[in-house]
Structure 1
């Protein structure tokens, strides 16, 4: 008999807790606070579904993504994969161009080239940016003050063409990477190793 009383009491407590939690969630100020954070970051409210910060109306096809990649680097497509990175749906396309492999990430809804984490200096793209390699070197050395350049690469980061200039400081103790917008010459980041 005691077992039934304990079991019944436990069920009533558990049920009451579940009802209390359910009703608390409906009026919780935390939910409103999270909405405010999302709105503050620039995500607009809509009755439609949002992905990649765009209303989902249509996703580009794999063929369209490949065409975008080949328009930039007319080589041989080795691999295509649809993947999600931090909630952003991307086509990851590997292209062999003039003996080198390039990995491109293309937004699956906008067709924007988001990332190319390979050196583009030996491609036609290097001729299309407004800041040439010598200007990028000078900007980086002027920004840091002194040192010697170990390496320089042209890449695409977050949709921007960027020079990554690796500099060894004058003491030889530290390396620093200076990121320069390849179209404006603006220093957009510095990473001390």
Structure 2
């Protein structure tokens, strides 16, 4: 698959929120420490080229969650703050398409390709990517602008954040999306 700005791909930034700065809360280890900065660079590139941008925010209904709307962790990180005119999609589940009007907004704008960045690779990023692919969007996921945390296996084994990230991408690549890098997009958009 190829991508260019003439395709008018939408950049979908998923859950780049302050709550994810609390690494111990999410598992104690994280990969891709520059993921948010790379997402911020892509956001600048999309703005420069006047391409469509959608900010997705997880708004947990659990009052104890760091992602609850009443908590500071719900706020977007500084490097990806939305500006006037950029839609904010609020979701309560892993997929940015469930319980939101994201698909309707993309369809209304006649967008056929999407580029997905954000947190976390194996959860909301993966779920949204899978749905985007299933809905027929030409979908790209950015390897170095996504990140996750380590996970405990069903038998208590600790799986590293990098392993979780890479296996999530491997499951998506070629089936639901094409895995690309920030550099690739900077050269092709």
Scaled to the shorter chain, the TM-score interval is: under 0.3
Q: Which protein has the larger Cα radius of gyration, Structure 1 or Structure 2?
A: 1
Higher helix share: 2
